[in-house]
């Protein structure tokens, strides 16, 4: 491997071999918190009483120095849980925000309008792990309109294209007062699990390439709005991968530090990339992207095949597995993978899908009533909600060896005790005698233990019955004594009178 290409790949390999992802992630987290205290980053606006209800999570707040300020007069607030995140070296800027609440839909679209954003990147589903993670903030079907009188905007659903891993929707925003209109594209990635990462870097990179090719990330347009549920975990992962690939293409890999880029992005919004798993995936996507992102045939893979049907979130179909083998001409060897990588793929296939309806039009807008600050999310401050399984790739390996089945049939009947031991006994009579003796001893021991249990149960039943009889006799004696006493008293007063 030559010097030009060793930096990020060798860093990844070293961390992977020493299993130090948690340590590396924690060091980045600590460094960003020290920087925040040093620079005195405040979150005062988010803590104001009138703004607290506009935050989806109580511990995810926008920094004051980079927060988006709503400018339209005559609205109830200028606050929205969103930050302008920039990387000057890459000439990239994004607006990272939380998934809209029912009470902030108008604020969200007003931000898109005022910031002249050309695209919305949605990286989560509306419902995940049986909890609402984002309110349905767009019209329910093509040709329908959403009138937002509180901010003076109308949002119209123009069209949609559905792919295996994402949906692309076109909306038209109209300002009621000026009657001006502007089109906005929503790229909705539907296969990024809560507390997890996409099934493969390839699928994610194809999504990134589609976003890039649309021109919505160019420096001459308004910043794209990127959100998941809290707007820091999955959203931060997207920004880190995109920025690093831009810098690598511009300056060369040896001059790009993934850690430094992430620390720079964290200066604008707290907590970007929320688990060490997301950090691991970011490295994998960057390494894979260096070879594939500029390949002209990259977007011709089957993963981008258009899915049939109406507008959907792809709730019921698992994401495609990555290819069984991957060529890495850049590094001449495959990317090391952790046991978690294959376990996530197994989880995607074996576990039932999230409970969201596959048809967005069936989701009632009143569903957001269950939004709370206690919802679990990939963007919460919890780190350890990971499914740790053993590497099970060979379960899906068609070349795995199985014993031959005679005549193409497989006997699934359960053999009796006699059948289990007959073949071995015939081969070795002495062994058969020994096994028979052992079986008799084991059977006798089990019978003896069972008899002991039965005797104990009977003993307890007798004790219980004896206690009941004794208790009944005591009650009868007491009742009789009380009756005699009452009769005596009555007789006494009767004689005396």
Q: Please state, in angstroms and rounded to a whole number, the distance separating the CA atoms of residues 371 and 148.
A: 21
pLDDT-wise least confident of 213-217, 345-349, 476-480: 345-349
Strand pairing class (145-148; 119-122):
unpaired
Position 435 pLDDT exceeds 80: no
As given in the structure block, the two tokens for residue 67 are 């927060």
Q: For position 470, what pLDDT does the model report?
A: 78
Judge whether 244 counts as a catalytic residue. no
Picking from 154, 119, 159, the residue whose alpha carbon sits closest to that of residue 142 is 159
Closest by CA to 16, choosing from 340, 345, 386, 347, is 340
> Smallest Cα–Cα separation from 417: which of 398, 438, 403?
438
Mean of pLDDT over the chain: 77
Question: Would the pTM of this model clear 0.75, i.e. be above it?
Answer: no
Cα-Cα-Cα-Cα torsion 406, 410, 416, 417, nearest 10 degrees, comes to: 70
Would you state the pLDDT for residue 295?
65
Q: What is the mean pLDDT of residues 373-402?
A: 35
* Burial class of 68 by CB neighbour count within 10 A (0 to 12, 13 to 18, 19+): buried
Residue 387: is its pLDDT beyond 90? Answer: no
Higher-pLDDT residue of 300 and 322 is 300
Q: For residues 454 and 457, what is the distance between their CA atoms, to the nearest angstrom?
A: 5
Distance, in Å, from the CA atom of 219 to the CA atom of 242, rounded to the nearest integer, reads 14
* The predicted structure's pLDDT at residue 216: 97
Q: Tell me which of 134, 228, 239, 243 is the catalytic residue.
A: 228
Q: Are 56 and 101 in contact (CB under 8 A)?
A: yes
The CATH code that applies to domain 3-392 is: 3.90.190.10
pLDDT greater than 90 at residue 232: yes
pLDDT in tens, 270-287: 999 999 999 999 999 999
125 versus 324: the higher-pLDDT residue is 125
Q: What is the pLDDT of residue 267?
A: 97
The CA–CA distances, whole Å, from 430 to 215, 294, 422, 437, 495 equal 81, 72, 13, 11, 97
Nearest to 94 by CA among 119, 61, 64, 63: 119
Is residue 413 classed as helix, strand or coil in its secondary structure? coil
Q: Which of 267-276, 295-304, 368-377, 391-400 has the highest mean pLDDT?
A: 267-276
**Better pLDDT: 455 or 223:** 223
- 393-420: per-residue pLDDT in tens? 332 233 333 333 333 333 333 344 444 3
């Amino acid at each position: 491997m030559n010097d030009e290409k060793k930096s990020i790949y060798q860093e990844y390999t070293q961390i992977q071999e020493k299993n130090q992802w948690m340590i590396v992630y924690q060091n980045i987290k600590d460094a960003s918190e020290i920087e925040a205290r040093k620079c005195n980053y405040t979150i005062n606006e988010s803590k104001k009483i009138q703004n607290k209800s506009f935050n989806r999570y109580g511990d995810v707040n926008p920094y004051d120095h980079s927060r988006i300020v709503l400018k339209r007069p005559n609205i109830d607030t200028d606050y929205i849980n969103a930050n302008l995140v920039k990387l000057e070296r890459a000439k990239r800027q994004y607006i990272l925000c939380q998934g809209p609440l029912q009470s902030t839909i108008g604020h969200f679209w007003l931000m898109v309008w005022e910031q002249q954003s050309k695209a919305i990147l949605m990286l989560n589903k509306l419902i995940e792990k049986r909890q609402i993670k984002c309110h349905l903030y767009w019209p329910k079907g093509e040709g329908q309109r959403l009138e937002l009188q509180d901010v003076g905007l109308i949002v119209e659903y123009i069209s949609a294209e559905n792919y295996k891993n994402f949906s692309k929707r076109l909306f038209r925003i109209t300002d009621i007062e000026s009657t001006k209109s502007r089109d906005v594209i929503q790229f909705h990635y539907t296969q990024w699990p809560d507390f997890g990462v996409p099934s493969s870097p390839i699928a994610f990179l194809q999504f990134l390439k589609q976003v890039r090719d649309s021109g919505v990330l160019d420096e001459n347009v308004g910043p794209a709005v990127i959100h998941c549920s809290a707007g820091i975990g999955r959203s931060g992962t997207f920004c880190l991968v995109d920025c690093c690939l831009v810098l690598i293409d511009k300056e060369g890999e040896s001059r790009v530090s993934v850690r430094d880029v992430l620390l720079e992005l964290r200066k604008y919004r707290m907590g970007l990339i929320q688990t060490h798993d997301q950090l691991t995936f970011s490295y994998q996507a960057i390494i894979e992207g260096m070879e594939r992102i500029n390949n002209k045939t990259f977007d011709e893979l089957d993963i981008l095949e258009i899915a049939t049907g109406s507008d959907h979130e792809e709730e019921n179909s698992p994401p495609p597995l990555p290819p069984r083998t991957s060529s890495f001409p850049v590094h001449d060897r495959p990317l090391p993978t952790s046991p978690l990588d294959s376990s996530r793929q197994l989880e995607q296939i074996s576990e039932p899908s999230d409970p969201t309806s596959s048809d967005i039009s069936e989701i009632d807008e009143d569903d957001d009533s269950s939004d709370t600050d206690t919802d679990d999310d990939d963007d919460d401050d919890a780190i350890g909600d990971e499914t740790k399984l053993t590497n099970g790739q060979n379960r899906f390996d068609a070349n795995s060896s199985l014993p031959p089945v005679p005549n193409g049939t497989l006997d699934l009947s359960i053999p009796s005790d006699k059948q289990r031991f007959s073949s071995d006994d015939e081969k070795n009579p002495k062994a058969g005698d020994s096994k028979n003796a052992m079986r008799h001893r084991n059977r006798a021991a089990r019978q003896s233990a069972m008899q002991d249990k039965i005797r104990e149960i009977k003993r307890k039943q007798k004790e219980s019955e004896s206690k009941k009889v004794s208790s009944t006799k005591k009650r009868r004696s007491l009742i009789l004594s009380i009756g005699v006493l009452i009769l005596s008293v009555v007789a006494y007063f009767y004689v005396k009178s």
